[in-house]
């Protein structure tokens, strides 16, 4: 959410940020709304001040035994009192109009974000080729279905499209990936593990900017039937689209001490997205699901440290893929491809041999004070007076389902089996290769002698 005072101080910079996103300049409209708000507040305050002054004059008139003047003053006070609710309502309405308009405007990009219209204008930052960019192989769903361990048909009977049932060794591989990421981020990267609620209130979704603009992309949960909920006035709860929502809101309506910063949180949770704008995209497989698992990274920092923290978060997410030896590239998103709350975003894109292309597996964004203003999340600097807003950052560390896809496609063997990356060996109970229903390949210590990763 934007600071109207900052917009007033530098409207040209604000408009430039919006136009770089492909939007129309809005500073004049917002300043006009703020002028209307100030005028309405002034009118309400002026009427109250006049009432107070006239009330004092009534006492003086009575003391002077000027009953006619006293009655006239009392009539005027009564009229002003009768007008007060409408003046207060006008002031509230003007303030609400400005707040709603500000809440619907995306964050302004940082000055170093490349300008562009869409993903074709993103700029590559770095690349890790690791085990090499294989140009041969089947897609993950072809491998999983052939193994009998990835079932989209049954999932559709249970829940509809964009769901999957994972079984056996692939289910274990997904669990292993999530545990591996959590252990890496908590044990080596200094993040605190959190188990947050999966249902949150409107205020939490507003705080991280999923509401109001992206309401149609969310899954709402109501207690009882929709009719009962409407009749009782029960508040909605929302299934989290990402753990960014509860993790970032851990500091909502707080004033932190500077010594507490940075705060770094991580969580492995299911995520739920309606994918309302994704009709016809990635309809096969697990790339775009209504339900998926993700390890989230969230940082809360002082403003002067947020740029450094952004680079650090990116390195933490990259470390997951480096340990797994998955080829990837990092791109800086252009102004036209950034998320609503982001001031700058890096995407990590994993190489998928089955598609012969890179696909996003993580986004790491710095949001400045945009979310903090919506949450009223502030801190008290060591030096200086008063409080100021924190900066928030979030990133995938990484999406577990997409990591599963990347492992399956990059570690597939000609016979349709999948070699288990060495980084996941401690989590797989001795399994070194996934072969499907009936397959139970183990390492030499448990009696097997499969082809190792280096023998592919």
Q: Which residues are catalytic?
A: 273, 288, 360, 363, 402
**Contact between 125 and 331 (Cβ < 8 Å):** yes
Burial (CB count within 10 angstroms: exposed 0-12, middle 13-18, buried 19+), residue 192: middle
DSSP E strand boundaries for 262-369: 263-272, 291-301, 328-332, 344-352, 357-366
**DSSP assignment of 81-147, as one string?**
HHHHHHHHHHHHHHHHHHHHHHHTSPPPPPTTSPP-SSGGG-EEEEEE-TT--------HHHHHHHH
43's CB contacts (< 8 A; 6+ apart) are 87, 90, 91
3-state secondary structure of 203: helix
* 300: Cβ contacts below 8 Å, ≥ 6 apart: 248, 251, 256, 261, 262, 263, 264, 377, 390, 391, 392, 393
- H or E stretch at 432: strand 431-434
| Opening angle at CA 201, ends 399 and 94, nearest 5 | 115
Residue 199's beta-bridge partner residues?
239
Element (H, E) at 221: strand 219-221
Q: Are 193 and 267 in contact (CB under 8 A)?
A: yes
d(CA 134, CA 243): 33
């Amino acid at each position: 959410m934007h600071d109207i005072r900052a917009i007033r101080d530098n409207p040209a910079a604000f408009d430039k940020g919006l136009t770089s996103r492909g939007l129309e300049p809005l500073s004049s409209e917002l300043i006009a709304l703020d002028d209307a708000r100030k005028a309405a507040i002034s009118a309400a305050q002026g009427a109250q001040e006049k009432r107070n002054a006239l009330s004092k004059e009534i006492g003086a008139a009575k003391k002077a035994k000027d009953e006619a003047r006293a009655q006239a003053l009392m009539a005027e006070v009564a009229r002003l009192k009768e007008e007060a609710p409408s003046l207060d309502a006008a002031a509230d309405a003007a303030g609400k109009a400005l707040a709603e308009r500000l809440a619907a405007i995306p964050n302004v990009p940082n000055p170093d974000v490349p300008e562009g219209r869409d993903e074709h204008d993103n700029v590559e930052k770095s690349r890790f080729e690791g085990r090499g960019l294989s140009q041969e192989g089947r897609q993950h769903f072809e491998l999983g279905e052939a193994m009998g361990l990835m079932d989209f048909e049954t999932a559709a009977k249970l829940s509809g499209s964009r769901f999957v049932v994972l079984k056996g060794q692939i289910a274990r591989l997904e669990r292993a990936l999530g545990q591996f990421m959590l252990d890496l981020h908590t044990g080596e990267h200094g993040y605190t593990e959190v188990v947050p609620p999966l249902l949150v209130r409107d205020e939490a979704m507003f705080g991280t900017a999923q509401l109001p603009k992206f309401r149609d992309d969310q899954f709402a949960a109501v207690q009882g039937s929709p009719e009962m909920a409407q009749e009782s006035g029960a508040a909605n709860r929302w299934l989290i689209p990402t753990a960014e929502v509860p993790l970032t809101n851990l500091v909502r309506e707080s004033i932190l001490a500077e010594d507490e910063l940075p705060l770094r949180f991580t969580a492995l949770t299911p995520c739920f997205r309606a994918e309302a704008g994704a009709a016809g995209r990635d309809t096969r497989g697990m790339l775009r699901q209504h339900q998926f698992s993700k390890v989230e990274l969230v940082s809360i920092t002082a403003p002067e440290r947020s740029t450094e923290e952004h680079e650090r978060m990116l390195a933490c997410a990259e470390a997951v893929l480096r340990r797994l030896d998955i080829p990837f590239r990092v791109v800086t998103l252009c102004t036209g491809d950034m998320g609503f709350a982001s001031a700058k975003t890096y995407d990590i894109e994993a190489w998928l041999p089955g598609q012969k292309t890179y696909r996003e597996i993580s986004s790491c964004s710095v949001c400045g004070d945009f979310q903090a203003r919506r949450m009223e999340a502030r801190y008290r600097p060591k030096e200086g007076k008063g409080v100021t807003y924190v900066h928030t950052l979030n990133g995938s560390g990484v999406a577990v389902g997409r990591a599963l896809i990347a492992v399956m496609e990059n570690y597939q063997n000609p016979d349709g089996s999948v070699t288990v990356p060495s980084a996941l060996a401690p989590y797989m109970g001795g399994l070194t290769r996934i072969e499907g229903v009936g397959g139970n390949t183990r390492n030499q210590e448990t009696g097997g002698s499969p082809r190792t990763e280096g023998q592919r």
